[in-house]
Chain A
Amino acid sequence: MNTQVDTIPVVSGSERSGALIAATVAFVFGVGLVFTTGFAHPTTIHNAAHDTRHALSFPCH
């Protein structure tokens, strides 16, 4: 029905576990990036990302 490329609902267990590993890696990287730009305290990071933090309504200062 569906082609392999289009679908994520995967059939085999190993593909499913591959998807879960990829999801975990993506989640860790994603949260890490958002934390760095939105939350990290070091002044240099704060100053560089300052306008973005305000513009995306992260708590700033």
Chain B
Amino acid sequence: MITRVLAVGLLAGLCAGLAVSALQSFTTTPIILAAEVFENAEEAKADSAAFDAGADRIFAPAQPHLILVHGDARSEEDSAPSNKEEWAPQDGMERTVFTSVATIATAIGFALIILAGMLFSGDVINEQRAMVWAAAGFVAAGLAPAVGLSPELPGMAAAGLPGRQEWWLATVLCTAVALWLFLRSDNNWLRLLAVPIVLAPHIWGAPHLAESHESGVPAELAAQFAATSLAVQATLWILTGFFVGFLWHKLGYLNARPAA
């Protein structure tokens, strides 16, 4: 059983991840590269300001949580502004390869989570049902958190990362639990309970910067990216679900043959 689950998860993630990597290379990645031009301009501006203001800027109490994307995260770790280059994939082929690997790994993760959910609930695993699980996965991990934290481009100002990650996780958990209660429960009171659970993280509120901050990225680009990245994530989930159901059958027959 474990071998079959892991094999299906790996293969389904590989197939869906490869397809979506190709999709990313002409949908989201060009927008990210375009935004980085603005991000780098912003960073250069921030760097020159840092030289002028020195320690004043770093310890300025007025902007305690302002994270100007990659620039500040790095200088926080290094504590002193240094020119030490951290490793990053080279633009072009290398970067595309790493992005594809990361996308495939994420798809394998999604596939294993879909399989885990279906096995826990004793569902029949086929294409249709796995795609329904995948759609629920997208609602929980894509749509719901995007309501509070819209998909970001490099160069957009945002609140501190740990706070956003915690809110994201809490929202995914709440939405998943609420979906389970609503879709799988026979008790109408439990279905009603799903409503406050799904709303709770949004009433609590996602972490945002206290003061509004001028972003270097044009609004049109950001809006286009928010929609595109949600579509890409939805595609990844649905394709992963499809391949989970499809390969579950195929690999099941392969496993059954020697025993028969």
* A positions within 8 Å CB-CB of B: 4-10, 15-16, 18-27, 29-34, 36-39, 41, 43-44, 47-61
Q: Is B40 an interface residue (CB 8 A)?
A: no
Task: Please indicate the chain A residues that have their CB under 8 angstroms from the CB of B126 in the complex.
Answer: 6
Chain B residues within 8 Å of A9, by CB: 122, 124
Interface string of B81-125 (1 = CB under 8 A from A): 000001111000001001101110110111111011111101111
- Shortest CB distance A48–B (Å): 4
**How many angstroms from the CA of A23 to the CA of B195 in the assembled complex?**
27
Residues of chain A within 8 A of B154, CB atoms compared: 54, 60-61
Do B2 and A30 have beta carbons less than 8 Å apart? no
14 contacts between A and B (CB under 8 A): A4-B256, A5-B252, A22-B5, A23-B119, A27-B112, A36-B105, A48-B102, A51-B95, A51-B99, A54-B28, A54-B153, A55-B99, A56-B229, A57-B142
Are A8 and B102 touching (Cβ within 8 A)? no
Q: Which residues of chain B (162-210) have a CB below 8 Å from chain A? A: 164-165, 168
Cβ-neighbour of A25 out of B5, B108, B232 (below 8 A): B5
CB nearest to B225 among chain A residues: A54
Question: Which residue of A is nearest B172, CB measured?
Answer: A34
- Kindly provide the distance from the CB of B18 to the nearest chain A CB, expressed in whole angstroms: 13
B49 interface contact, C-beta 8 A: no
Measured CB to CB, the residues of B under 8 A from A are: 1-2, 4-6, 9, 24, 27-29, 32, 67, 69-70, 73-74, 77, 86-89, 95, 98-99, 101-103, 105-106, 108-113, 115-120, 122-126, 142, 145-146, 149-154, 158, 161, 164-165, 168, 225-226, 229-230, 232-233, 236, 249, 252-253, 255-256
Residues of A within 8 A of B110 (CB): 30, 34
Q: Which residue of B89, B123, B150 is within 8 Å of A48 (Cβ)?
A: B89
Determine the distance from Cα of A8 to Cα of B117 in the docked complex, in whole angstroms: 12
Residues of B within 8 A of A61 (CB): 67, 69-70, 73, 152, 154, 158, 161
Residues of the A chain whose Cβ atoms lie less than 8 Å from the Cβ of B112: 26-27, 29-30, 33
Residues from chain B with a CB closer than 8 A to the CB of A19 are: 1, 119, 122
Whose C-beta in chain A lies nearest to the C-beta of B77?
Answer: A43
Name the 6 nearest CB pairs between A and B, nearest first: A30-B112, A33-B109, A57-B151, A23-B119, A27-B116, A34-B109
List chain B residues, Cβ under 8 A from A39.
165
